[in-house]
């Protein structure tokens, strides 16, 4: 992973040193399980625990010969122990170590993602409340629709990440599974007690029916959840980019002192952080496709999934950790230009009252198609001639036949349009 997108804590989880440590932890726990049922003596287990050492460089050298990373690991660690080292990996197959340790790595990484989401949701909640009364234009198809508030928009983002938090918790639970059932998963050379002991020690569930591997539907679910969360990050970043466009100028991501927007044009202030989130989200999302391809393997297993997983797991988790923390910073430090928000709200001559006017005319007895034709005609004329829609309606003899001046005051009150939005914020408190 490119270092500029890597945070230290997540990077250390996916280091070779930590990976081999997890392998060692599983191997020693398996020996303890064998010892529990009297197969491997106490003195052997104690000697291995005291003497076993990991030499990452030596493992790499051996792997160049064996072309098998687990065998290289077992050979190196066994040699550090001496005669008792022959018991290391007793009764196990490689996937017992790989898949059970992978569950530990994914759980550890997933908990960092949970923490990132927790921090981001608190930031979103605070900003939603801060801007709950800043009325702005809501847009559909990129076209002015009806007013919302900036806080309402951010509140939607907040609840999306509340859902993402729950999704991530379920994904961690789904992946927190171990297996030490040997080749093809039938316990032919290992006692089920060993698996039970190891899984209990690391707070993992036992895979009830494994093959030689833990079935990859679990891993697909985990990666797919990362993809959903990345898509949520992208959605927010894209909206900020759109609102930062010159012609709109409602918000802007942070722009540091001394920062340059363009090598050629000094006036540029580009939303590069949000663009970075959008770009990196694509990488995570495409990894979900690879995870789905990994579900279908030959018979009890092949290793076509293995090479891909060496990339997609660390890549997706490192990137998601990065973009979640980056998005939190963007939201915290985002500039909000309320004057531009108000300008944009009124730029189309208040035609956003058209639906309220339409509904009132229908209630007053006009056929809907007739009422729609009248209101649409005035709205289009207002936009075309750059005239105020409200004033045109008040001057319309056709409409004044059905609606009093007092009723018009209520129709053309933005606070009335948004009167129910305030109630929604009770859900944030």
**Phi and psi dihedrals of 254, rounded to 5?**
-60, 145
144 is catalytic: no
| Sequence-distant (≥ 6) Cβ neighbours of residue 237 within 8 angstroms | 273, 274, 275, 277, 278, 281, 327, 330
224 is catalytic: no
Query: Which one is catalytic: 141, 263, 307, 397?
Result: 141
Whether 288 contacts 224, CB under 8 Å: yes
**Phi and psi dihedrals of 303, rounded to 5?**
-120, 30
Residue 354 in tokens: 């058209």
Residue where the block lists tokens 């989880």: 13
| Sequence-distant (≥ 6) Cβ neighbours of residue 280 within 8 angstroms | 5, 230, 319, 322, 323
Residue where the block lists tokens 């991530």: 168
Dump the DSSP string for 294-348: TT--STT--SHHHHHHHHHHHHHHHHHHHHHHHHHHHHHH-EE-HHHHHHHHTTT
Query: Which one is catalytic: 79, 188, 203, 262?
Result: 262
Residue 75 in tokens: 């050979």
Q: Tell me which residues are annotated as active site.
A: 141, 262
């Amino acid at each position: 992973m490119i270092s500029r997108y890597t945070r230290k804590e997540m990077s250390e989880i996916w280091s070779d040193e930590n990976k081999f440590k997890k392998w060692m932890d599983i191997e020693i726990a398996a020996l303890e399980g064998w010892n529990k049922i009297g197969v491997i003596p106490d003195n052997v287990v104690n000697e291995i625990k005291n003497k076993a050492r990991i030499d990452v460089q030596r493992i790499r050298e051996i792997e160049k010969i064996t072309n098998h990373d687990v065998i290289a690991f077992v050979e190196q660690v066994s040699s550090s122990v001496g005669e008792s080292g022959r018991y290391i990996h007793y009764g196990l197959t490689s996937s017992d170590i790989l898949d059970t340790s992978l569950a530990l790595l994914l759980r550890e990484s997933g908990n960092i993602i949970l923490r990132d989401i927790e921090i981001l949701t608190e930031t979103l909640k605070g900003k939603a409340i801060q801007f709950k009364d800043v009325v702005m234009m809501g847009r559909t198809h990129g076209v002015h629709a009806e007013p919302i508030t900036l806080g309402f928009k951010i509140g939607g983002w907040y609840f999306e990440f509340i859902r993402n938090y729950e999704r991530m918790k379920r994904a961690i639970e789904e992946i927190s599974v171990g297996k030490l059932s040997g080749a093809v998963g039938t316990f032919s050379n290992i006692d089920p007690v060993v698996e039970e002991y190891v899984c209990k020690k690391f707070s993992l569930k036992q895979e009830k029916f494994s093959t030689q591997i833990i079935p990859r539907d679990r891993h697909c679910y985990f990666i797919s959840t990362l993809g959903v969360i990345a898509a949520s990050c992208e959605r927010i970043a894209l909206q900020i980019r759109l609102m930062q466009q010159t012609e709109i100028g409602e918000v802007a991501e942070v722009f540091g002192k001394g920062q340059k927007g363009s090598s050629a044009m000094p006036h540029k202030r580009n939303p590069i952080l949000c663009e970075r989130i959008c770009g990196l989200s694509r990488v995570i999302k495409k990894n979900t496709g690879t995870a789905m391809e990994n579900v279908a393997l030959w018979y009890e297993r092949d290793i076509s999934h293995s090479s891909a997983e060496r990339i997609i797991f660390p890549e997706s988790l490192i990137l998601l950790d990065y973009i979640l923390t980056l998005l939190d910073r963007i939201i915290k430090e985002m500039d909000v230009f309320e004057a531009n928000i108000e300008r944009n709200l009124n730029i189309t001559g208040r035609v956003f009252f058209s639906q309220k006017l339409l509904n009132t005319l229908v209630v007053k007895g006009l056929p809907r198609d007739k009422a729609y034709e009248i209101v649409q005609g005035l709205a289009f004329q207002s936009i075309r001639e750059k005239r105020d829609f409200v004033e045109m309606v008040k001057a319309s003899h056709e409409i004044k036949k059905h609606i009093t001046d007092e009723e018009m005051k209520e129709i053309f009150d933005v606070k009335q349009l948004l009167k129910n939005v305030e109630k929604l914020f009770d859900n944030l408190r």
